[in-house]
């Protein structure tokens, strides 16, 4: 009987609880993150694009805001000096230095370094030329006896070669441009060797202080020294030196005596040949540069040429110079 009784069937139903709609919350968080990153990178860009002085000025503004209002200026990091400078201490007179200024200073420093390297190589080249000239003179039996009359040294202008007179062995006849044989051979030998370097040459003639009887009113030591320097130039060109190497030929009379010599000493009578370095050559070229041409319609300042006539070369009066 008991088995015939049916057992109750129990059905369990699980009711799932509902949650609120949250599909857009993550978008708000992501937007906040992107905004913060954009602000961060914008701040980094601003910090990298403004000068150190402006950054110092902003910091000082927040520390002492009244300073800008009371003292004026675009920033408190400015220097009172009108000369731009730089450095870690922005309160010093060194002032501010923007990024462009730093690059300009670096570029100028590189240019100075290159210039120093060029000058050093040029000094070495002139030193090698000095040794070559000395070897050539010592190897020439004709010129070796006159070695004491040839002075070669390096100066701030370049390599200087001086051919000087001795008391009983002059280069030129008295008061004349007639050259002795040894001086002619020596100048021709030097001229050929100077072709080995690209440097140009300056030549100057010097005399002692013995005046002409007419003083400086006629043919004087000024004309004589210039004529002797030009005669030396001709011999060097005849010996094989390129005529374009000569940049300047001057006569200095007795104005620049030999160091340590008395005004009437024979050693004052000399021919000086300077193989110019690049700096000196540029200085000579700059001071000899032609002025700017006059404006259109401006009157010309060029003097009228004299009437043609027979040209006569000045000559030293015979016996006028002791």
Whole-number pLDDT of residue 86: 47
CB 195 within 8 A of CB 240: yes
Residue 97 included in any domain? no
Please state, in angstroms and rounded to a whole number, the distance separating the CA atoms of residues 297 and 300. 9
Residue 103 included in any domain? no
Beta strands in 136-221 (DSSP E): 150-155, 158-164, 201-206
Domain harbouring 221, CATH code: 3.30.1330.60
CB 221 within 8 A of CB 254: yes
Of 249, 251, 233, the C-alpha closest to 241 is 233
Average pLDDT of the residues of the chain:
78
Q: What is the CA radius of gyration of the chain?
A: 43
Residue 252 confidence class, pLDDT cut points 50, 70, 90: very high
Whole-number pLDDT of residue 302: 52
Average pLDDT over every residue of 38-66: 78
Give the neighbor-by-neighbor strand order of the sheet with 246-251: 150-155, 158-164, 270-276, 201-206, 246-251
Residue 162 included in any domain? yes
Residue 148 included in any domain? yes
Residue 248 has pLDDT above 80, yes or no: yes
Q: What's the total number of domains in the chain?
A: 1
Residue 103 confidence class, pLDDT cut points 50, 70, 90: low
Residue 220 has pLDDT above 80, yes or no: yes
The residue segments making up the domain with residue 155 are 125-287
């Amino acid at each position: 009987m008991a088995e015939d009784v049916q057992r109750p069937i129990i059905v369990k139903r699980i009711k799932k609880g509902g949650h609120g709609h949250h599909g857009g919350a993550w978008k708000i968080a992501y937007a906040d993150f992107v905004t913060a990153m954009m602000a961060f990178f914008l701040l980094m860009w601003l910090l990298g694009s403004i000068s150190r002085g402006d950054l110092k000025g902003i910091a000082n503004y927040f520390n002492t805001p009244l300073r800008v209002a009371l003292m004026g200026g675009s920033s408190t990091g400015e220097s009172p000096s009108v000369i731009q400078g730089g450095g870690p201490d922005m309160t010093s007179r060194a002032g501010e230095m923007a990024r462009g200024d730093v690059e300009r200073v670096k570029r100028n420093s590189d240019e100075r370094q290159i210039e120093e390297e060029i000058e050093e190589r040029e000094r070495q080249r002139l030193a090698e030329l000095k040794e070559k000239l000395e070897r050539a003179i010592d190897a020439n039996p004709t010129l070796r006896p006159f070695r004491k009359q040839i002075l070669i040294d390096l100066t701030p202008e370049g390599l200087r070669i001086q051919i000087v007179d001795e008391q009983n062995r002059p280069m030129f006849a008295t008061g004349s441009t007639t050259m002795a044989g040894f001086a002619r051979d020596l100048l021709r030998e030097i001229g050929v060797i100077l072709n080995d370097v690209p440097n140009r040459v300056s030549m100057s003639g010097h005399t002692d202080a013995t005046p002409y009887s007419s003083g400086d009113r006629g043919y004087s030591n000024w004309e004589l020294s210039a004529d002797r320097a030009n005669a030396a130039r001709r011999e060097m060109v005849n010996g094989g030196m390129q005529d374009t190497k000569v940049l300047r030929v001057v006569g200095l009379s007795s104005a620049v005596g030999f160091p340590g010599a008395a005004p009437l000493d024979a050693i004052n009578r000399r021919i000086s040949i300077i193989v110019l370095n690049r700096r000196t050559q540029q200085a000579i070229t700059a001071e000899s540069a032609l002025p700017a041409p006059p404006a259109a319609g401006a009157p010309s300042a060029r003097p009228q040429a004299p009437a043609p006539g027979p040209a006569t070369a000045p000559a030293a009066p015979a016996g006028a110079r002791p």
